[in-house]
Copies of this chain bind each other. A is one copy, B any other.
Amino acid sequence: MAEDNKIGTYEFVAEPFHVDFTGRLTMGVLGNHLLNCAGFHADERGFGIATLNENHYTWVLSRLAIELDDMPRAYQKFSVQTWVENVYRLFTDRNFAILDAEGNPIGYARSVWAMISMETRKPADLLTLHGGGITGYVCDKECPIDRPGRIKVGEGETVGEHQVRYSDIDLNGHVNSIKYIEHILDLFPMEMFRERSVRRFEMAYVAESYYGDRLTFCREQKSGNEYDIEVKKNGTEVVVRSKVIFN
């Protein structure tokens, strides 16, 4: 297969209500675009949600890491490229490049996905899916950022609490993957974003949370610019872990 058909490219504009007070696209909106691009790319190649749903399978996001030199500003055009880096039996690695209006990369992202049966919630074997068709899209385009690492919150401090509400919940009845990103960045004061933008942001999705769950946010400062966050529901079960590294 030609390499250029393996990479999907999608065009965007940074909408005025999708930027923060510094005029830069928010991490949540960028995350939403990346997940949409993953969906477009998979759909166009026959392994998207729409096709899978017929077979009662769905994609589940396990890890996401975004690293940026810059962010699009309000009204600026940008584009996202996405491709499949690896396919294993239970996981697939999908990477992204974020390009500015001139087509220069301003950031990259890595994501790890599993596929599960919506009936049994058990993972599916990606190597046999559609006769192994997904492996034909594996592409060796470079993604020059670190893989998502292990996030471990030891001596953290509880810095926030949130009762899950209507607007947090997605089509599947779970808290929306993107909403966690917003809630986690909201743990930091405005000055952090004024003085130092986010250089790297990681999410590890561990379990689902639901309407009415009480989320607690525990944060540990790992170094001057680096924070690990653990989100638990109802005081016990970990739902997501995150790492935020500021410039």
Which A residues fall within an 8 A CB radius of B?
Answer: 15-21, 23, 26, 28, 32, 35-36, 39, 49-50, 74-75, 165-167, 169-173, 176-178, 182, 185-186, 188-190, 193, 211-212
B36 touching A16, Cβ below 8 Å: yes
- CA of A36 to CA of B13 in the docked complex: distance in angstroms? 11
A20 touching B190, Cβ below 8 Å: no
Identity of the chain B residue whose Cβ is nearest the Cβ of A190 in the assembled complex:
B211
Q: Which of B36, B176, B185 contacts A167 (CB 8 A)?
A: B185
A171 touching B35, Cβ below 8 Å: no
- CA of A35 to CA of B185 in the docked complex: distance in angstroms? 25
A166 touching B178, Cβ below 8 Å: no
Identity of the chain B residue whose Cβ is nearest the Cβ of A26 in the assembled complex:
B167
A28 touching B167, Cβ below 8 Å: yes
A176 touching B17, Cβ below 8 Å: yes
**Given A20-B169, A21-B170, A166-B190, 10 new contacts (CB under 8 A):** A16-B36, A17-B36, A20-B167, A20-B171, A21-B172, A21-B173, A165-B186, A166-B189, A190-B211, A190-B212
A217 to chain B minimum Cβ distance, whole angstroms, is: 12
A17 touching B177, Cβ below 8 Å: yes
A167 touching B190, Cβ below 8 Å: no
Q: Which of B39, B166, B177, B185 contacts A166 (CB 8 A)?
A: B185
- CA of A63 to CA of B205 in the docked complex: distance in angstroms? 39
- CA of A177 to CA of B16 in the docked complex: distance in angstroms? 11
A182 touching B167, Cβ below 8 Å: yes
- CA of A190 to CA of B173 in the docked complex: distance in angstroms? 11
Q: Which of B35, B49, B166 contacts A20 (CB 8 A)?
A: B166
A10 to chain B minimum Cβ distance, whole angstroms, is: 12
Q: Which residues of B contact A50 (CB under 8 A)?
A: 75
Instruction: Identify which of A35, A165, A171 gathers the most chain B CB atoms within 10 Å of its CB.
Output: A171
Q: Which residues of B contact A74 (CB under 8 A)?
A: 171
Q: Which residues of B contact A28 (CB under 8 A)?
A: 167
Q: Which residues of B contact A186 (CB under 8 A)?
A: 165-167
